[in-house]
């Protein structure tokens, strides 16, 4: 959920950030005759940091690190621009509070605290490094922007925590803590747009617990709920940072795998199948899971409905073939020469049995 929020908020913040950068640039341009034009260079560098981070966001296993590094780079560049304009002798020292607004929108409380600490250190460095005597003679030059940074962090964090709580209730499955269909709908739409730009494939893995009704019948519904929670945890634990897992039905799960083709998805699904098969749940209950897989083709726009339908068909085949297996619908084999075979190409089938 933290990564989902990071990706979601980054898309929302991106256009606003450009506007904010533009406002700062206009301000520096207007002050150019008095403070010089070179102050625009650090601001341009800050914009460059975010451009690089945005380009690597989907491909990174730890996107939060990329975005935080870009955030730190932008804060450092703003500090450099403030130092070039005169430090505490000018009103621009308060600009260090601007990036603080975006911290709580994308990062955990730990990230917010680290970011605020970095901003305070940069504030002190600029104030005492450029005009220490002015600060000593007039302490409010330092205390006023310091108070602004801290107040902005406190208020924005409180507001964001409230927003996250309400949004989580809308997109999080309360039993397993997994994302739900509403979150899936939003993410699938985003991946469709992104795939048109990146030309990377997107895989869909659909999993369904085998004979789950027997767990409820033999051990009771509370035990069944506990099993679902445990399975959800196991699945998430095996995923990469940029793979997202959803609960889309009673005992049915779906995983979106950006940047992965069918072969990669088969390997991942087989790992998940073995993980569930090797575990014992609750009072000694044993459980297996079946998976159906499909993926878009590199270079094609990701069509979620089509890929999901193929993966769902493959899951049905996995069930009909005996369960506890992985079935990949990429070229489902049909009788040679039949109209059905021609209509279905190119869809292939691979099967990995237990």
Residues with catalytic roles: 251
Contact 179, 167 (CB under 8 A): no
Asked if 302 and 296 touch (Cβ cutoff 8 Å), the reply is yes
CB atoms within 10 A of CB 268: 22
Residue 315: CB partners within 8 Å, gap ≥ 6? 206, 207, 208, 290, 291, 292, 327
Residue with tokens 């059905």: 340
**Alpha-carbon distance 268 to 326, whole Å?**
10
Contacts of residue 250, defined as CB under 8 A and 6 or more positions apart, other chains included, come to: 212
The gap from C-alpha 156 to its chain's centroid, in whole angstroms, comes to 21
Residues with Cβ within 8 Å of 284's Cβ and at least 6 positions away in sequence, in order, are none
Contact of 183 with 171, CB cutoff 8 Å = yes
Place of tokens 């270079």: 299
Residue with token string 């509403």: 182
> What does the DSSP assignment read for 328-344?
EEEB----TT-HHHHHH
């Amino acid at each position: 959920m933290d990564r989902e929020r990071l990706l979601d908020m980054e898309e929302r913040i991106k256009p606003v950030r450009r506007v904010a950068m533009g406002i700062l640039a206009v301000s520096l341009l207007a002050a150019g005759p008095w403070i010089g034009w070179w102050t625009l260079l650090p601001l341009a560098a800050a914009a460059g940091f975010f451009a690089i981070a945005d380009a690597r966001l989907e491909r990174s296993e730890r996107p939060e690190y990329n975005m935080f590094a870009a955030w730190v780079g932008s804060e450092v560049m703003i500090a450099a621009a403030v130092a070039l304009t005169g430090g505490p002798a000018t009103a621009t020292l308060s600009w260090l509070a601007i990036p603080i607004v975006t911290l709580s929108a994308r990062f955990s409380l730990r990230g917010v605290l680290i970011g605020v600490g970095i901003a305070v250190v940069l504030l002190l460095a600029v104030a005492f490094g450029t005009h220490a005597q002015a600060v000593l003679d007039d302490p409010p030059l330092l205390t006023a922007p310091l108070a602004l940074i801290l107040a902005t962090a406190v208020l924005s964090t409180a507001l964001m925590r409230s927003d996250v709580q309400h949004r989580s209730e809308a997109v999080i499955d309360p039993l397993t803590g997994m994302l739900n269909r509403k979150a899936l709908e939003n993410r699938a739409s985003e991946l469709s747009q992104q795939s048109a730009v990146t030309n990377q494939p997107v895989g869909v893995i659909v999993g369904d617990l085998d004979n789950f009704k027997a767990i409820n019948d033999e051990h009771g519904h509370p035990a069944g709920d506990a099993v679902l929670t445990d399975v959800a945890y196991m699945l998430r634990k095996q995923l990469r940072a940029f793979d997202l897992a959803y609960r889309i039905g009673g005992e049915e799960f779906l995983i979106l795998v950006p940047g992965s083709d069918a072969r990669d998805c088969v390997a991942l699904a087989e790992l998940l199948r073995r993980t569930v098969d090797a575990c014992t749940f609750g009072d000694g209950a044993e459980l297996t899971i079946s998976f159906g897989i499909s993926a878009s083709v590199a270079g094609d726009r990701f069509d979620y409905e089509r890929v999901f339908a193929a993966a769902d068909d493959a899951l049905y085949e996995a069930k009909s073939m005996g369960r506890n297996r992985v079935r990949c619908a990429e070229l489902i084999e049909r009788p040679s020469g039949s109209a059905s075979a021609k209509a279905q190409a190119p869809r292939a089938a691979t099967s990995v049995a237990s």
